[in-house]
Amino acid sequence: MGLRMFSNATSPIAIEFGTSSVKLLQINAGERPTLTAAAELTIPDSVRLEQDKLNAFYAEKLPKIIAAAGFKSRRAVLAIPSGQSLIQHTQVVKDGRTNRDDAIKSQLHYQLGHPPESLVVRSIEVADVHRDGQVQSEIICFATSRETVMGYVELLKRCKLNVVGVHTEATALVRAFDHITRRESDGELATLFVDIGWGGTLVVISHGRRIVFARHIPIGGRHFDQLIVRTLHCDIALARAHRMKLSGAPEPTVPAPEMAATEGAAILKAAASAHASTSKQTKTATAATQAERREGLTPATSCHPVPDGDPPCRAGNVDLTEPLDTITDELSMCLRYHTGLFPGRAIDRAIFVGGEARQTWLCQHVVKALRVPAQLGDPLSRAARPKSLKTPGLKLDQTQPGWAVAYGLCTAPTDL
């Protein structure tokens, strides 16, 4: 079936199955999108890591929250969680005789031990590379078991939803920021996206809108909580509350939905003035953010500079250095791989998203280690919100970096 894009019509219900919550979003697309419905369903700690209990929780709670939020369609688009997929860079000989898809499946079969017909595979061609005297294509593979995909489709079918699109979190994440990469010159910008969730961290590098690197790092908020649990001998809920007390930069707030574009511009100028004393890196990030604004279209809160500072590495008497170093080391390896593919091509900016990105101290640690101008992404804030809108589980007066994947799914093609 051919791909179909949405214009000003109401999008299907975008559904992101996170490790700590499920996010559901629907918008009217256009130059200034409008929220139609939104809801967030928090997953209890007791079921997060037990798939059978989790499936029962979804089946009971999803229909109720869909009804409560007033979604206007039975069509749904979903993203397969990165933690349930294999994201693998591989090379395929480019000789005109080798079938790329067959070569990819053959390599995945060798690595995973699963027959090709049991996998759903998506791939992105990145660049030509020279290895052992041959020209090869660098390919990013996203592989998920067919059983996993069909499990989500059947779950949503029981919720009376018809799945019309299944995508990767990486493609949805980059799509969420299409509004800041629509000029031809934006194709030269190398952006590092860091999606920090409770269960893990998704890393994506794009050149403009083109994805050139992707990786899932199995370290997220859960691992900080588990370290606190082991140290303080408490339950995970108390550990999370303990971690949330860590200080960082003040959390930016979102202007009222009815705010005019001129008022948004005033806030942008005020924000730039407030950060005038920050380091050169943060000033660069602020300037990049301002340059990306499209006057009258993008509110000032779409991206916030991540300021420099001396972030804490302890939660009380719990030393968090080990997981912090693990994340920054893994990210450094990602940047080195990118440099190997594109020598001399530096990262121009980092954009942090994901629910854990609201822990500003965590973003600051990454910025300090990588020395990359950084911003906190909040694409949801650019959508207008009717006063009558109900958003169970979602607070629209706060920054919501955790909604980037769901937002990107709203304009993703229907491919089923």
* 87: pLDDT strictly greater than 70: yes
Q: pLDDT tens digit string along 306-352?
A: 877 788 888 878 999 999 999 999 999 999 999 999 998 999 999 99
All residues at 6 or more sequence positions from 37 whose CB lies less than 8 Å from its CB, including other chains: 13, 24, 25, 26, 69, 70, 71, 72, 389, 390, 391
d(CA 340, CA 194): 20
Identify the pLDDT of residue 309: 74
Q: pLDDT tens digit string along 134-156?
A: 888 999 999 999 999 999 999 99
Please provide the CATH number assigned to the domain covering 13-83+145-182+383-410. 3.30.420.40
Who wins on pLDDT, 188 or 214?
Answer: 214
Does the pTM exceed 0.75?
yes
Who wins on pLDDT, 72 or 277?
Answer: 72
d(CA 34, CA 131): 48
DSSP-derived 3-state class of residue 24: strand
Mean per-residue pLDDT of the chain: 83
Identify the pLDDT of residue 255: 53
* Mean pLDDT on 1-9: 46
Q: Which residues of 359-383 are buried (b: 16+ CB within 10 A; e: fewer)?
A: bbbbbbbbbbebebbbbbbbbbbbb
* Mean pLDDT on 75-85: 95
Q: pLDDT tens digit string along 32-47?
A: 789 999 999 999 999 9
* 170: pLDDT strictly greater than 70: yes
Sorting pLDDT into bands at 50, 70 and 90, what band is 119? confident
**CA 111, 117, 120 angle in degrees (round to 5)?**
75
Identify the pLDDT of residue 253: 55
Tell me the residue type at 165: G
The residue extents of the domains of the chain are 13-83+145-182+383-410, 85-143, 221-380
Who wins on pLDDT, 84 or 262?
Answer: 84
* Mean pLDDT on 195-216: 97
* 299: pLDDT strictly greater than 60: no
